[in-house]
Chain A
Amino acid sequence: AQSVTQPDIHITVSEGASLELRCNYSYGATPYLFWYVQSPGQGLQLLLKYFSGDTLVQGIKGFEAEFKRSQSSFNLRKPSVHWSDAAEYFCAVDPTSGTYKYIFGTGTRLKVLA
């Protein structure tokens, strides 16, 4: 079945440490790929998106993500985490690349230690 997997439900990192959030998808073709962030009590905000081309994508707030076709992955990274990055992060795919019917992962909740 088509799916989006975020294997880590919770992640805790110290402020200033590096971060990697994992996302894997199971679709035949390369879908459109997205990372969203949800701060407590808020809606979702787009961090970055990948459609095609350069597999390393830069986003807002210092985040980047790398698309790896061979691994069906789209992992989110940040070299140095700030306390304000504490939030829930969602990976999403548009499996038919343009229908806009996204499939979301179950989310990873990030806690940042001072």
Chain B
Amino acid sequence: DVKVTQSSRYLVKRTGEKVFLECVQDMDHENMFWYRQDPGLGLRLIYFSYDVKMKEKGDIPEGYSVSREKKERFSLILESASTNQTSMYLCASQGNDEQYFGPGTRLTVT
């Protein structure tokens, strides 16, 4: 069975902290994605990666960076967390013409 896991379900961080969100997939997929989900806005693409060490900006990359050192792992980094980055973060990997999602990380920045 396809599996995408995210390192934390809930996370609370302080303004200015560096935050790492980890995502791991076990399907050997090349494409991986990070979205943020906000009420009334749906899912918005932050970054995606189409291969190891390859990345491309999505629609809202400001304030975020990513890292993909291994095929199965795609990390989202908030260099200096701000309160407007409080959100649900969803990771996905692409295969078989569909995206498979992790359970999400609800990040609160105080």
Contact surface of A with B, Cβ cutoff 8 Å:
9, 32, 34, 36, 41-46, 49, 51, 90, 92, 100-102, 104-107
Are A106 and B40 within 8 A (Cβ)? yes
A46: which B residues are within 8 A, CB to CB? 98-100
How many A-B pairs fall under 8 Å by CB? 49
B66 within 8 A of A: no
Would you call B31 and A100 a contact (CB within 8 A)?
yes
* Residues in chain B within 8 A of chain A (CB atoms): 4, 31, 33, 35, 40-45, 48, 58, 90, 92, 94, 97-104
Question: In the assembled complex, how far is the CB of residue B104 from the closest CB belonging to chain A, in whole angstroms?
Answer: 5
- What are 5 A-B interface contacts by the 8 Å CB criterion? A9-B40, A46-B100, A90-B43, A100-B99, A101-B58
Known: A42-B104, A101-B45. 13 other contacts (CB 8 A): A9-B40, A41-B103, A43-B4, A43-B90, A43-B103, A44-B90, A44-B101, A100-B94, A101-B48, A102-B43, A102-B99, A105-B42, A106-B42
Contacts of B90 in A (CB 8 A): 43-44
Given A42-B103, A101-B48, CB of A34 within 8 Å of CB of B98: yes
